[in-house]
Chains A and B, each alone.
Chain A
């Protein structure tokens, strides 16, 4: 079973629209971490945010905001006033302890391809 589900495979919006990327995760751990990464057309993976399971406060960074809800096991990502440069694949990832060790293995969702049209 997928530990991280990104149900939206592709999203297209027009510049200046707001867009929300959904992420649903599954874990039995009480301590875990959630991440979002951006992969632009150039191919590199860029870290955007890390959230631990004890901090449910929403976070805003410029045009980006994240909504973490443990009750629904979701960690959604909203881009406000989207721009063409936001076009990329966005990955949500979960880190939980691997076999009781201190290592947090990253489990990635399959990604959402966001295309922002001018």
Chain B
């Protein structure tokens, strides 16, 4: 039981490039989330999904897109990377909306 896995662990992008952060969970959770963590700022919700085919914006969605075609996978797409997107990205999942969330190990992204 791997829990929540994320790839890659690290990535450096040039301004204007695009990439997809992968997230997979094997706990059969319906709810999945993407957060970004900036130094000293806690975590902010980017997008979330309550089930396959259903996604919605969180607090800071601009510059990102998501899709949820299966229960297990919830990829996050960055289009036209900007330096403001330099951050650590965490994927999480939970059994119910109010249940505890389990987090992946994070992806450290630098945009230069």
Chain B residues lying within 8 Å of A35, measured Cβ to Cβ, are: 100
- Bitwise, A1-18 to B at CB < 8 A (1) or not (0) is 000100001000000000
Beta-carbon contact of B100 and A45 below 8 Å: no
B39 to chain A, nearest CB (A): 10
Q: Which of B18-26, B41-49, B67-75, B77-85 contacts A (4 or more CB under 8 A)?
A: B41-49
Chain B residues lying within 8 Å of A47, measured Cβ to Cβ, are: 100-103
Chain A residues lying within 8 Å of B90, measured Cβ to Cβ, are: 45
In the assembled complex, B2 has its CB within 8 A of some CB on chain A: no
Count of residues in B whose CB is under 8 Å from the partner chain: 24
Chain B residues lying within 8 Å of A45, measured Cβ to Cβ, are: 43, 90, 92, 103
A109 to chain B, nearest CB (A): 6
A103's closest neighbor in chain B, by CB? B97
In the assembled complex, B105 has its CB within 8 A of some CB on chain A: yes
A45's closest neighbor in chain B, by CB? B103
Query: Which residues of A33-86 are within 8 A (CB) of B?
Result: 33, 35, 37, 43-45, 47, 50, 52
List of 3 A-B pairs having minimum Cβ-Cβ separation, nearest first: A104-B98, A108-B42, A103-B97
Chain B residues at the A interface, C-beta cutoff of 8 Å:
31, 33, 40-45, 48, 50, 58, 88, 90, 92, 96-103, 105-106
